[in-house]
A = this chain, B = another copy of it.
Amino acid sequence: MSRVDQDELISALLAGKHRALARAITKIENRSPGYRELVSELHRHTGTASVVGITGSPGAGKSTLVDKLAKRYRDRGETVGVIAVDPSSPYTGGAVLGDRIRMASNVGDMDVFFRSMSARGQLGGLSTATADAVKALDAFGKDRILIETVGAGQSEVDIVKTADTVVVLVQPGSGDDVQMLKAGILEISDVFVVNKADMSGAAKTVADLEEMIHMRNDPTHGLQTGHHGFEIPDHLNRADPADEGDRWEPPVVETVATAGDGLADLLTALSSHREHLETTGGLDRNARIRAAEEIRQHLRSDAATLLEAEIDRRGGIDALAERVAARETDPYTIADELLEPLRETIKPRSDRQE
């Protein structure tokens, strides 16, 4: 795509053309040439959307809940963008078919823009692609952006952290709660939803969650050893321990998404959390944390690409590995040799007075 075409794409997107939005997200998803410049430009136009991430095990009812939420926002006259991410299915295109069926309730309403993304072999890069796609939706002018992702592994945690508000869906009696907590989801969850609240065991699941939240927020229990004896990694803990008074206690909302029950309570919880972020400076703090993570992520990824080029220049990884296996050299020595140029470049300048 030429520079002129790219400028046209950006103008059309900013002017509210859904076709341009779709093309931009495709470019972002495929990492097509020019995607970086595209996202760099879009970034300047972001910052108005409210971004909610929704995660939970397969079958917990995420799709239905997202559909219903989108509908409620539309009824209020707000525009909605949905990004559904499935990190566990790098090969299948199955999600797309399912999505068409799901989105039937909003058919014809172009102001619910739906897009599914899958890993396509670029493990680890999916959270970056998601964050970039969210920027496209934000720059486009969508009022509400919903990020939906399956499960509770590290990649899902990374994906869902793109949102200002994280909703975790739990199915009664599934044992999901314990699994998710182990994955560090408790620490990034702002709102818990016990969906299918008409199932038996729902009351117990609600009570269990509330107890865990209470344990977390009670300083006498400490942060490091939770209810289930698991450890909470510091980097997952977005709460600022300095601001005891500003601490957010995640509410537990009961819904039956298929029937629409509890949707009003969920909307209230979401707007309360948004308000909490606004009054405590949490929105800005989250934006800075995200920016720092994006910078580091891009640096890691770009450095890896450059280092692969350097490996190739030195005969390729196989030749290097062969020399290590033959004990002619060793991995640390090779790393030192390959990074010497970078070390040279950075070191003299850091010694210089500025």
Contact = CB atoms under 8 A, between A and B. Distances in A.
Interface of A: 36-37, 39-40, 43-44, 46-47, 88-91, 123, 154, 224, 230-231, 233, 284, 287-289, 291-292, 294-300, 302-304, 306-307, 309-313, 317-318, 320-322, 324-325, 327, 330-336, 338-339, 341-346, 349-350
Contact of A313 (B296, B312, B341, B346): B346
Contact of A334 (B295, B309, B341): B295
Contacts of A37: 332
Given A233-B123, A330-B39, A339-B303, A295 B310 contact: no
A50 to B, nearest CB: 16
Interface of chain A: mostly helix, strand, loop or mixed = helix
A331 B288 contact: no
A298 B345 contact: no
A248 B350 CA distance: 53
A122 to B, nearest CB: 12
Contact of A294 (B292, B304, B306, B324): B324
A336 B348 CA distance: 20
A43 B302 CA distance: 30
Most B CB contacts (10 A, CB to CB) among A40, A288, A331, A342 go to A331
A332 B298 contact: yes
Given A88-B231, A303-B307, A345-B341, A317 B292 contact: yes
Given A292-B317, A313-B349, A313-B350, A303 B40 contact: no
Given A288-B322, A325-B284, A307 B317 contact: no
Contacts of A231: 88-91
B331 A294 contact: yes
The complex is assembled from copies of this chain, and their number is 2
A203 B283 CA distance: 55
A15 to B, nearest CB: 20
Contacts of A36: 332, 336
Given A43-B330, A291-B320, A299-B311, 12 more contacts: A88-B230, A288-B322, A291-B322, A291-B324, A292-B320, A298-B334, A299-B338, A302-B339, A303-B339, A312-B350, A313-B346, A344-B345
A292 B314 CA distance: 13
Nearest to A323: B291
A345 B342 contact: yes
19 contacts: A39-B330, A43-B327, A44-B330, A90-B233, A123-B233, A154-B154, A292-B317, A295-B334, A296-B317, A298-B332, A299-B335, A306-B339, A309-B346, A313-B346, A341-B345, A341-B346, A342-B342, A342-B345, A344-B345
A304 B307 CA distance: 12
Q: Which 10 A-B pairs have the closest CB atoms?
A: A298-B335, A291-B324, A294-B331, A43-B330, A341-B345, A291-B321, A292-B321, A287-B325, A303-B303, A288-B321
Contacts of A303: 300, 303-304, 307, 339, 342
A139 to B, nearest CB: 11
Contacts of A295: 311, 317, 320-321, 324, 331, 334-335
